[in-house]
A and B are shown apart, each in its own frame.
Chain A
Amino acid sequence: MASPAPANSLRSGPDENGHFGIFGGRYVAETLMPLILDVDAAYKAAKLDPEFQREFEYYQKHYIGRPSPLYFAERLTDHFGGAKIYFKRDELNHTGAHKINNVMGQALLARRMGKTKVIAETGAGQHGVATATACALFGMECEVFMGAEDVQRQKPNVDRMRLLGAKVHPVTSGSSTLKDAMNEALRYWVSKPDTHFYIIGTVAGPHPYPAMVRDFQSVIGIETKAQMMEAEGRLPDTLVAAIGGGSNAMGLFHPFLDDTDVALIGVEAGGYGIETDKHAASLTGGRPGVLHGNRTYLLQDEDGQITEAHSISAGLDYPGIGPEHSWLHELGRVEYVAVTDDEALESFALCTRKEGIIPALEPSHALAHVGKIAGGLPKDHLIVMNLCGRGDKDVDAVIPKLEAKGLL
């Protein structure tokens, strides 16, 4: 995990109550409040415990397979004809995405707290699979809440969770996607306060989750820094990552927040296009509000009702975003852009054919933006894109779409 931040650092947030500026906080029902305070206290203690640190590092290395490589994507670099493009290969992690970095941290914390039952929400199913995996490893009971629509479009991951011994609850309320899965997980947690630990899969939820998940994911950025120094002898110029709730992006960005020469770009899901209202770009198309325990940018109507997000990618199909991103957005430290479903699909196909890597639809969004900027940048400009997940889970859903577009 990251070293302590100096004074005036952009890395020193949140405050004691979980606020990043006006964002973050703990907006939950009283029933949950004592549980969240317990998690906060336990995490504070764990952070200071070298044994926890040691365990965390042990599993990162021997179980997840970290460090993940920093790979020079030469053919895509040639293809775009500008900046030098590196991939941070978190798709090579055990279970196929960055999600497990965080899950191992929280599962170890749950174990320290004596909890033997775990719940999780999942969108693409990667967080659900990672949680089911850690639970199998540690002999814990696992229940995963997943929107019914996502159960359909990410079926391979549903099967994996079941194989790993997790119980998957399809959620049919609301839009039957990630937001509703999170509602349902929170509702369930309220009814099991004594026994269950809730492993949240992104940098959202009530404090301490946004900070805790970020800390566990920061291994991505810490490794990237060291690997880039080794490869190029200097820091990268631009980092690009896809944003659902924002955990892979925050993990990559956070160690670089004070390196103000490094440009940071978060790529939201533009769905059918921002102008259509069918998208999942909370920063580009939303405004501040309160949902799922924190204040952040949300897709909502005039009356404060949450509107349905849309993205081809189940992992990005969420009407909110982690509160630290909202704060970084208002500060202007990170630039947030949006990429459409179609652009992501094209990048999915391009990456597969040019690099022999089938990316998940989520990082395909990041790649689409890399494709937009790389050509116009000088050849010595170093871009790192977080290739945060592999696309096996998307194959079934993507093939008919690629065929329809004549890309297959």
Chain B
Amino acid sequence: MKAGVGRIDAKFAALKDEGRAGLGVFITAGDPDARTSAAILKGLPGAGADMVEFGMPFTDPMADGPAIQEASQRALKAGMTLKGTLALVRGFRQDDKTTPIILMGYYNPIYAYGVDAFISDALDAGADGLIVVDLPPEEDDELCIPALKRGLGFIRLATPTTDDKRLPKVLTNTAGFVYYVSIAGITGTASASSDMITGAVERLKRHTDLPVCVGFGIKTPDQAADVARVADGAIVGTAVVNAIKDSLDGDGSATDSTVSDTLAFVKTLADGVRGARA
């Protein structure tokens, strides 16, 4: 079975054969606690997620709005670490060999872990790609190049501020897919219009043959469907994290319905994406 970038490529090839876009779901590792997070993760493919963006919690998530900041806080408070995050990936991989897991977060915890050890351990656990928000192409030597050399995908973010002149630089050394951040802003705030997303995806497609996924600001099944009509994938983060939050008790602890409520919401998104090109 293919691992690393290969697993991402295989997934997008399969989606292409099915004639549909994929749904990427973001959750924060260890939110609200390790055991619940493992159960949600395990249930995601069954609920219709084609790919998982697995957030590595960080105290200072510079590109995230309050919802994902709080998810990080909940996870850290419950004791989640980068080692713990990789253990969750390993657990997931025991049963699921096809759903790509993209580790998403910020550089400092990886730097503290040690870049080489992290790449080895992430691949060994069964992670396939990385999105590290605060590593632009200017800092590719840090992690991107070493990761690519070992077959761990490095997925770059392109944004509304990435103009045509800069785009080639952003697309160099990216593997797996390109993540289009549909708004200039942080997670969990505004949403872009379908027209703007369509235009942006078309622009990216002129520059790359890689699949293009769109995220930031997709909150509803309808919005996910709109994106799924024009892009290769729709990625939903804040709305899923909010579903987790809404299921918690007053102390921020998991309840009996946390896993089922979250997966039920993911299913509505998946239905949106799967129905988009019907």
Judge whether A26 and B139 touch: CB under 8 Å. yes
In the complex, the number of residue pairs spanning A and B with C-beta atoms less than 8 Å apart equals: 118
Judge whether B161 and A304 touch: CB under 8 Å. no
A53 at the interface (CB under 8 A from B): no
Judge whether A304 and B158 touch: CB under 8 Å. no
Judge whether A31 and B63 touch: CB under 8 Å. yes
A25 at the interface (CB under 8 A from B): yes
- The secondary structure that dominates the A interface is mixed
A186: nearest chain-B partner, CB-CB = B62
| Cα(A93)–Cα(B120), bound, Å | 54
A87 smallest CB distance to B (angstroms) = 36
Judge whether A304 and B62 touch: CB under 8 Å. no
A305-B109 CB under 8 A given contacts A34-B161, A34-B163: yes
A51 at the interface (CB under 8 A from B): no
Flag the segment in B40-48, B179-187, B247-255 that touches A: B179-187
| Cα(A31)–Cα(B190), bound, Å | 15
Judge whether B109 and A31 touch: CB under 8 Å. no
A27 at the interface (CB under 8 A from B): yes
| Cα(A190)–Cα(B135), bound, Å | 15
B110 at the interface (CB under 8 A from A): yes
B76 at the interface (CB under 8 A from A): yes
The residue that B62 contacts in the complex, of A26, A183, A193, A302, with Cβ under 8 A, is: A183
Judge whether B170 and A30 touch: CB under 8 Å. yes
Binary A-proximity of B137-179 (CB < 8 A = 1, otherwise 0) = 0110000000000000000111111110010001000000000
Q: Which residues of B contact A306 (CB under 8 A)?
A: 59-60, 108
B195 at the interface (CB under 8 A from A): no
| Cα(A179)–Cα(B82), bound, Å | 22
A164 at the interface (CB under 8 A from B): no
B77 smallest CB distance to A (angstroms) = 11
B154 smallest CB distance to A (angstroms) = 13
A250 at the interface (CB under 8 A from B): no
Judge whether A291 and B185 touch: CB under 8 Å. no
B79 smallest CB distance to A (angstroms) = 10
A183 smallest CB distance to B (angstroms) = 6
Q: Which residues of B contact A186 (CB under 8 A)?
A: 62
A33 at the interface (CB under 8 A from B): yes
Judge whether B59 and A289 touch: CB under 8 Å. no
**Of B82, B106, B134, B160, most A-chain CB atoms within 10 Å:** B134
B189 smallest CB distance to A (angstroms) = 7
Judge whether A187 and B184 touch: CB under 8 Å. no
A interface residue count range (under 10 / 10 to 19 / 20 to 34 / 35 or more): 35 or more
Judge whether B134 and A191 touch: CB under 8 Å. no
| Cα(A298)–Cα(B65), bound, Å | 23
A300-B60 CB under 8 A given contacts A27-B135, A190-B186: no
| Cα(A25)–Cα(B138), bound, Å | 9
Judge whether B109 and A304 touch: CB under 8 Å. yes
| Cα(A187)–Cα(B68), bound, Å | 13
A39 smallest CB distance to B (angstroms) = 13
A46 at the interface (CB under 8 A from B): no
| Cα(A35)–Cα(B160), bound, Å | 12
The residue that A300 contacts in the complex, of B57, B63, B112, B136, with Cβ under 8 A, is: B112
B210 at the interface (CB under 8 A from A): no
**Of A31, A293, A302, A306, most B-chain CB atoms within 10 Å:** A31
Binary B-proximity of A169-209 (CB < 8 A = 1, otherwise 0) = 00001100001000100110011111000000000000000
B113: nearest chain-A partner, CB-CB = A304
A303 at the interface (CB under 8 A from B): yes
A320 smallest CB distance to B (angstroms) = 10
A291-B63 CB under 8 A given contacts A31-B184, A34-B162: no
A398 at the interface (CB under 8 A from B): no
| Cα(A182)–Cα(B66), bound, Å | 15
Q: Which residues of A contact B160 (CB under 8 A)?
A: 31, 193
Judge whether A191 and B66 touch: CB under 8 Å. no
**Of A29, A32, A35, A291, most B-chain CB atoms within 10 Å:** A29
26 A-B contact pairs sorted by A residue (CB < 8 Å): A26-B138, A27-B136, A28-B134, A29-B63, A30-B161, A31-B63, A31-B157, A31-B161, A33-B162, A34-B163, A34-B166, A174-B59, A179-B60, A183-B60, A187-B64, A187-B65, A187-B186, A191-B186, A191-B190, A288-B111, A290-B111, A298-B108, A303-B112, A303-B113, A305-B57, A306-B108
Q: A289-B108, A306-B59 are in contact. List 5 more A-B contacts (CB 8 A).
A: A30-B157, A31-B181, A33-B138, A34-B161, A302-B112
| Interface residues of B, Cβ cutoff 8 Å to A | 57-60, 62-66, 69, 76, 81-83, 106-113, 133-136, 138-139, 156-163, 166, 170, 181, 183-186, 189-190
